[in-house]
Structure 1
Amino acid sequence: MLTASFSQPAALAGEPSRDCPLCPRLVAFREELREAHPGWWNAPVPAFGDPDAWLVIVGLAPGKHGANRTGRPFTGDHAGVLLFETLGKFGLAEGVYAERPDDSLRLNGVAILNSVKCLPPQNKPTPQEIATCRPFYEAQLAMMRRARVLVALGQIAHGSAVRTAGGKLSAYKFGHLAEHRLPDGRTLVDSYHCSRYNQNTGRLTAPMFEAVFARALELAQ
């Protein structure tokens, strides 16, 4: 069994149990993968980063060959390469990202919270699964009292951030580099997700992604 060995504590408390039973479809998929890939993490993926973060990156869900395999958000798949390279360019990450949880990567002033903790089939959680998992995101964000800027990677993450802040989606339209003042006082900056598909199709380029974090740093001043 692979054990994720984190280079810095992710515990923010409030993680679901390893055998969280709340979403039957995700539980069934988890059990299927545990049988097929017994050396993978195959469990809810905990948050990762700095507990005193001023910036929270809101993700979608674990990737099959990324976080679901390694146990750390955005670790082991194509999306993580662009994400952690970009964070490093802005001084928001240090160490070496080697696509495994026991590398020397550390986040500086940043934490990653996924909207959904478990891998969904085809990377598509249902609305009910998103809503069921939201209390974990809400509880962890509430503990991060210094967090004042959020970056949402994709529309599902955007929706989780808006709803958690008490906003209505109709008042906060998602768009790359769209900026929103949320009811809880935080600022949300939207980004297209750094998925392999978005990168390969040119929907998201490295300069576009860097612009998101440049703006987040400006907002933090």
Structure 2
Amino acid sequence: MDPAQDHPDNPFGMDEDCRNCPNLCDARTSVVHGYGDVGADFLFVGGRPGSGADRTGIPFTGDDAGCRLQRILGDLELSNSPPDADRPELDGAYCTYLTRCRHPDRDPTDEEITTCDPYLTADLRMINPEIIVPVGTLALRGVAVEHTTRNPEELDADDLHATTIRGRGFELVPMRALEDQTDEETEAFVEYFAESVLGRDYRQTKGRSGAHD
């Protein structure tokens, strides 16, 4: 974690009682803002908080899907905590969401995604990562709108799992939704990320080696 950083949870002091989406205020338990290392090179972004994150208030924690991502981060040496930690110690990674509140019965609406976009935009500007990992198709399409030249509706995280997409100022390395991943797909992502991202000087080769337009 950045030595100048006081704490990893909501380090930029975003509104923890946000009421911009009235239909979510009574449905949620927590407003789940970003968490992790503010000096991170790698930003992992999901579509919406899972049931565990809604309970803990920490992205990608508290349930099986969260444990899967935390295990991935540990395998990549981006976490120093066990996969089931509610407050993982991240080093070089920052976790956040396209939308910050969970409705237990449905995905976020387009209006809710638009309303929440300033939070993600602020995360990206403050972190300024080298690599964005959209977790699931909802996150991939949401990030692609502003940060790639691709048609978002044509992008599918299942098809693009463990590949690289050239972005505007970033590279995107999509991941299939955690709850849908097999152990083999998780292993494939770890191997790809270790070899194709951590295994090269991505700061110098950004937008080239193996990237899709």
Report TM bin, short chain: 0.7 to 0.9
TM-score calculated relative to the size of structure 2? 0.80
CA contact (8 A) 1:138 1:164 kept: no
Q: CA RMSD in A?
A: 2.4
Corresponding position of 1:55: 42
CA 1:171–1:67: 2 relative to 1, 3 Å: closer
Alignment of 1:82-121 (within 5 A): 82-101=68-87, 105-121=88-104
Is the CA contact (8 Å cut-off) linking 2:45 and 2:135 kept in structure 1? yes
Quickly say closer, same or farther: Cα 1:112–1:153, change in 2 above 3 A: same
Q: Which runs of 4+ in 1 moved over 4 A?
A: none
Q: In the alignment, what sits opposite 1:3?
A: none
Alignment correspondent of 1:134: 117
CA–CA distance in 2 between the matches of 1:211 and 1:123? 33
Distance 1:25 1:107, change over 3 A: same
Summarize the Cα distance change of 1:159–1:135 in structure 2 as closer, same or farther, 3 Å threshold. Answer: same
| Mapping of residues 1-221 of structure 1, within 5 Å | 8-13=7-12, 15=14, 17-30=15-28, 42-64=29-51, 66-101=52-87, 105-145=88-128, 147-165=129-147, 167-170=149-152, 173-174=155-156, 175-183=160-168, 185-195=169-179, 198-199=180-181, 202=182, 205-214=185-194, 215-218=196-199, 220-221=201-202
- Displacement after TM superposition at 1:123 (Å): 4.9
**Matching residue's letter, 2:172:** L
Q: How far apart, in 2, do the equivalents of 1:212 and 1:151 lie?
A: 12
Whole-angstrom CA distance in 1 between matches of 2:97 and 2:200: 22
Task: Assess, with a 3 A threshold, how the Cα gap between structure 1 residues 43 and 217 changes in structure 2: closer, same or farther.
Answer: same
Partner of 1:33: none
Distance 1:207-1:78 versus aligned 2 partners, 3 A rule: same
Displacement after TM superposition at 1:189 (Å): 0.9
Q: In structure 2, do the counterparts of structure 1 residues 135 and 93 end up closer, same or farther at CA, with 3 Å as the change threshold?
A: same
Higher relative contact order (CA 8 A, sep 6+): 1
Gaps of at least 5 residues in structure 1 are: 1-6, 31-41
Unaligned runs of 5+ in 2: 1-5, 203-213
Give the Cα–Cα distance (whole angstroms) in 2 for the partners of residues 192 and 55 of structure 1.
17
Post-superposition Cα deviations, 1:49-69, rounded to whole Å, max 9, x if no partner, equal 1000001001121112x0111
Rounded Cα–Cα distance in structure 1 between residues aligned with 2:183 and 2:59: 22
Q: CA offset at residue 46 of structure 1? A: 1.8
Paired residues, number: 193
Structure 1 residues 9, 212: CA separation in 2 closer, same or farther (over 3 Å shift)? same
